[in-house]
A = this chain, B = another copy of it.
Amino acid sequence: MTEKDIPFSPQEYARRISKTRQAMEQAGIDILFVTDPSNMAWLTAYDGWSFYVHQGVILRKDGDPIWWGRGMDGNGARRTVWMTEDNIRPYPDHFVQSTERHAMQHLGALLAELGGETARIGVEMENYYYSAKAHMTLEATLPRATLVDATGLVNWQRAIKSDEEIGFMRRAARIAETMIDGAIARARPGLRKNELVAAIYNDALTGVGDDWGDYPAIVPMCPSGADASAPHITWNGDQMQYDQCTFFELAGVYRRYHTPFCRTVWLGTPPDEVRHAEEALIEGLEAGLDAARAGNRACDIAEALGAALTKAGIERGARCGYPIGLSYPPDWGERTISLRSEDETVLEPGMTFHFMPGLWMSDWGLEITESILITDEGPAETFCNRPRQLFVKE
Chain A residues proximal to chain B, CB less than 8 Å: 1-2, 5, 47-52, 71-73, 75-76, 78-80, 92-94, 96-100, 102, 123, 125-136, 149, 151-152, 192-195, 197-199, 201-202, 204-207, 210-215, 218-219, 221, 225-227, 229-237, 317-319, 322, 329-331, 333, 335, 338, 340, 342, 360, 363
Contacts and interface: CB of A to CB of B under 8 A. Distances in A.
A143 B351 CA distance: 40
Contact of A48 (B126, B204, B230): B230
B237 A207 contact: yes
Contacts of A333: 52, 97
A335 B97 contact: yes
> Which 9 A/B pairs are nearest by Cβ-Cβ distance?
A212-B237, A132-B135, A76-B230, A52-B331, A75-B230, A126-B133, A194-B212, A52-B330, A125-B133
A263 B118 CA distance: 48
Contact of A132 (B73, B94, B125, B206): B125
Given A96-B338, A317-B93, A51 B130 contact: no
How many subunits of this chain does the assembly comprise?
A: 2
B317 A92 contact: yes
A49 B79 contact: no
A360 B131 contact: no
Nearest to A365: B75
Contacts of A218: 49, 52
A44 to B, nearest CB: 15
A279 to B, nearest CB: 22
A5 B238 CA distance: 11
A131 B131 contact: yes
B214 A234 contact: yes
A79 B338 contact: no
B130 A5 contact: no
A127 B130 CA distance: 10
Contacts of A72: 230-232, 318, 360
Given A201-B202, A207-B194, A79 B227 contact: yes
A309 to B, nearest CB: 15
Given A49-B330, A198-B201, A198-B202, 7 more contacts: A49-B221, A50-B232, A75-B229, A93-B317, A96-B319, A97-B335, A201-B205
Nearest to A196: B205
14 contacts: A49-B232, A73-B231, A75-B230, A76-B233, A93-B340, A94-B342, A97-B322, A126-B134, A132-B135, A135-B135, A195-B205, A198-B206, A212-B237, A329-B329
A131 B126 contact: yes
Contact of A234 (B47, B92, B131): B47
B2 A226 contact: yes
